[in-house]
Every structure is written in structure tokens, then in C-alpha cells.
Amino acid sequence: MKAAAAPAKAQHAPERRPFRWEAVTAISTLLLALTTFGALLYTARQIKDFREAERVHNEAERVHQLVEQRRWFDSSGFIKVRKKLAGKRLDKHSKTVLPLNAAAAPGELYEIMNYFEELGLLEEKGYLDAQDIWDELSYWAFNIYYDAKPAIDHDRQDDPSFFLHFEKLVGKLQQIEKQRTGRENQPTGPELLEFYQYENSLTAR
């Protein structure tokens, strides 16, 4: 008689590990952080591109404004004004600069100062760059301002803001002048004579 077979060993079900929500949360947080970081990088790049485009646009606008201002300064009508002023500031032989009557300066001097007053205002508002003005027009700005200074001081007795934008502009141009040449430019006798002789030689186109 055969012995009864030994009963098979009972097989236990594998132990189930608990679901780790912490891991899911950590992964989700990491993905969110990466997505947010990517979005920030993209936004930063967009802002940088926008600012660069804005800078280029503003620079182009300033150059355009400078070209227009220089075109007006060299226009036939304004050259006539400049030449007429030179004729009034020089003696009949064009050998000396006449003393300026501060209380009755030539009207043409005021026309040119008004031009530089507008330049000063445009520079303050950001439509022009002081460096560009120095490159193109500082020669005239310095000579006109220092020749007209007695008239400016006289008229400021009634109006302290008289040609204030022009004065501020000259101050900025002097800073650039000193950086570029090592000294300020304050034309007097011989320099003013040479300046007005040149202006008197102009021919309106």
C-alpha cells in the first residue's frame, strides 16, 4: 500500500507594496518646476528680443530726427539767416566781431538760438542723442551760445527760463567735448571771428 503523498506546501500571495503618492507628488512638482522654468526662459527671451527691437527702433528714430534737423540747418532759408547774422556781427571789412548789444541783439541771433532751444528740448525728451548733436552741430552751438550769452543773461532778468533748454544742451555738449578733447570749448575773440567769417562765406543753395 502506497503512502499518501505529502500535501503540497501552501503558496502565499506576494506582499503588495503600498502606492507611494510622495513619489508621484515629487515627480509632478519637478515637472511643474521645469515647465515654469522653461516658460520663464521663453518670456525672458521674448522680453530681451522686444527690448532690443525697441532699442533699434528708437536709435533709428533718433538718427532720422538728426538727419531732419541737420537738413533744416543746412537749408537755403536757414543759411540765409546764418549769413545775415554773420554780416551783422562783423565790421564792414569782416576783420573784427562787433560788440553785442545785449538789449538789442540781432533777430537772426534769436532765430538760431530758437533752433538750438528746440534741439535741447528734443534731446531732453529722448528724440535726439547728445553725442550725435556734438558730432554734427556742437561747433555752431558753442559759438552761438557764447556769443549770445550777454543777451541771454539780459533777457533772463525778466524770464529766468529764457533759453534754458539751449543752456542745458550746451552743458551736455561741454561734458562730451571734455571727454573727447580734454577741455571745454568756450569761443572768444579770435574763434568767434573765424566762426563768423566762415558763416559769412556761405552760399545758399
What SS3 state is found at 187?
coil
pLDDT tens, residue by residue, 159-171: 999 999 999 999 9
- DSSP state string for 34-72: HHHHHHHHHHHHHHHHHHHHHHHHHHHHHHHHHHHHHHH
Q: H/E element holding 181?
A: helix 164-181
What is the pLDDT at residue 190?
Answer: 96
pLDDT (tens digit per residue) in 120-179: 999 999 999 999 999 999 999 999 999 999 999 999 999 999 999 999 999 999 999 999
> What are the pLDDT digits (tens) for 3-52?
555 555 555 555 666 666 777 787 888 888 888 888 887 877 776 665 66
What is the pLDDT, as a whole number, of residue 31? Answer: 82
List pLDDT tens digits, range 69-90.
Answer: 999 999 999 999 999 999 999 9
